[in-house]
Amino acid sequence: MKTLLLVLLSWVLWHSVTAQTLGRRAFVGLIVSETGSQLSVDSVLPHSMGEKAGLHKKDLIQTINNVSIHSVKKYQEICNEIREQEEVVIQFVRNKSTREVRIMAIPYPRYSPDWAEVIYGEVAVNECMSRTIIYKPKGVAKASGIFFIPGYNCSSIEGFSSNFNGKMIEGWVKNGYVVYTVEKSGMGDSRNCKACIDVDLQTDIQLFEKAYHHFAQLNCIDSNQLYIWGHSMGGIIAPLIVSGKPVSGIMVFGTVFRPWSEFLLEMHRVQKPLLESLSFEQTEDFIRLIQKIYFEFFVLKKSPAQLFQNPEYRALVETELEYKNGKEEMWGRHWRFWQQLDSINLAKAWQNVNCHVLVLHGNADFIQCSSVEPYLICEAVNSKHPGNASLVTIQGLDHLIMNSKSYPEAVKNMNEKAYLKGNFNRDLLNETVKWLQTRIGKR
C-alpha cells in the first residue's frame, strides 16, 4: 500500500508540473521612456490597459502593484509578470498631482492569420518557462518542420508578424511546412525567467537545445524531416544545438564563422566609412585602438567597467561598447554574452555537422558584410562531409531581407525601416523552399 501511495503521489506531482500552462501576459500598452530617474509615458496603445485606465502622454509612472518604477527595464520586468484577469494598481503623477487607478489585466491579443493554425505552448528550462508559438498549415495533420532561431536581440517572437521574420514564416507555411518559434528568456509570456538582456549566450543555447528537443517530439511534425533556420546570430547557434540530435538540414543566412573579435574588425572597416562617413585613414586609426580594447575584453576577459578605468580607452568604451556606469548591458545583451561568443570554435562546430547545409549570403548585407564567412562555413562542412553544404549568393539582398541593390541603399532602407513597409526580398524565401523541396524529394 505504501509503495502504491508513493507511485500515485509521484504521478500527481508529475502531472501537476507537466500540465502547467503559461497564462497570457497583460497588454499594458504603454510606450515609456526614462526622464532622469522618472518614467514618462510617450504614447498609449489603443485597446490596452493603459487606454482603459485613462493614462495620457507625459504621465509619470510611479509604481505598479506597489513596486517603484524608475527605469524602462524595471517597467518591462514588472509588466512581464502580470497575467490576464489579475488586478493591477498603477500610481502615476499628472500635473504634479499623484493619482491611482485599479484595473483588471487585459490579455495581449493572440495572433490568428488566415494562412495558418497558430498553436501556443511552452517549454521549461529549469524554473524558466518560455512561450512557444507554432505555425501549422491549416488542415494538415503532419508536415516537415522548421525550427526558427532568430538574431541576437531581445525582442519577442510575437513581433515577427510585422517584419521580415513573419514573411519568411508565412511563406514556409504556405508551402506546407510547420514552423516552430520560442521566446528568449524573459520575453513575451515567459515566466520565472531572467530578463533576456541579463542572460548570457550559454543561457540562449540551453533554451534552444531544450526547445529543439520539444520541436522534434511534436506529433504535427514529421520526425524524419527536421530542419533548422538560423538568421544572423541564429546561424551561429544552429550548429551548436544539433550534436547527437536528429536533424535533416540546416539553413543559415547572414551569419559568421570566424571568432567574433576577428569579424568585428572587418565589420568596422566596412561600416565606419558607410555609417559615420569616416575616411579610410580615420577608420584605420580607430581600428588600431579598438583592437587593443577588444584584446583585453575578449582575450583577457576584462569587463567594460575595468576597461573604462583606462584613460586611453574610456571614450571608446562609452561609445563603442555602449558602457554606462552601473549597467551590465553591451550591444543589447549582457557583456558576458559577447565574451562567450568569441570563445566558441565554430570551425569545430560546423565540421561536426553531419547533415545537409544551405548557406545563404546577400550581396548588399553590410551588417554581415563579408563573403568570407559563408564560404568558410561551406568549406568546413564539406571538408568532413563532401557535398553536404552548398552556398547561394543572392543579388539585391540585405541583412534584414529587404530589396537593396548596394550597401548604401541597404543603410537607407534600414534607417527608414523599410522592412515594416513591405520591402521584402522573396528570393531568399524561394531559395530555401527550393532547397527544402529538393531534400524532401530525396527521402
The pLDDT averaged over each successive group of 10 residues in the chain (443 residues) is: 37 36 90 89 94 94 93 87 92 94 93 96 94 97 97 95 96 98 95 93 98 97 97 98 94 98 96 96 97 98 97 96 93 97 97 97 97 97 97 98 97 94 96 94 55
From 44, 70, 104, the end of a domain falls on: 104
The answer to the question of residue 244 being in a domain is: yes
Q: Residue 374: what residue type?
A: P
The answer to the question of residue 310 being in a domain is: no
Residues comprising the chain, all counted = 443
The answer to the question of residue 271 being in a domain is: no
Together in a domain, 242 and 377 = yes
Question: What integer pLDDT is reported at residue 21 of this predicted model?
Answer: 80
What is the extent of the structural domain holding 168? 117-259+344-441
Together in a domain, 126 and 97 = no
The answer to the question of residue 83 being in a domain is: yes
Integer Cα distance of 191 and 270 in angstroms = 40
Question: What integer pLDDT is reported at residue 36 of this predicted model?
Answer: 80
Which residues share a beta bridge with 178? 145
Question: What integer pLDDT is reported at residue 13 of this predicted model?
Answer: 34
Integer Cα distance of 440 and 219 in angstroms = 18
Which residues share a beta bridge with 288? none
Together in a domain, 72 and 133 = no
Q: Which three cell numbers stand for residue 126?
A: 529549469
pTM of the model: 0.89
Question: What integer pLDDT is reported at residue 442 of this predicted model?
Answer: 54
Write the CA distances from 63 to 68, 88, 238, 300, integer angstroms: 4, 10, 41, 42
Question: What integer pLDDT is reported at residue 312 of this predicted model?
Answer: 96
Our count of domains for the chain comes to 2
Q: What are phi and psi of 210, to 5 degrees?
A: -65, -40
The answer to the question of residue 374 being in a domain is: yes
Question: What integer pLDDT is reported at residue 260 of this predicted model?
Answer: 98
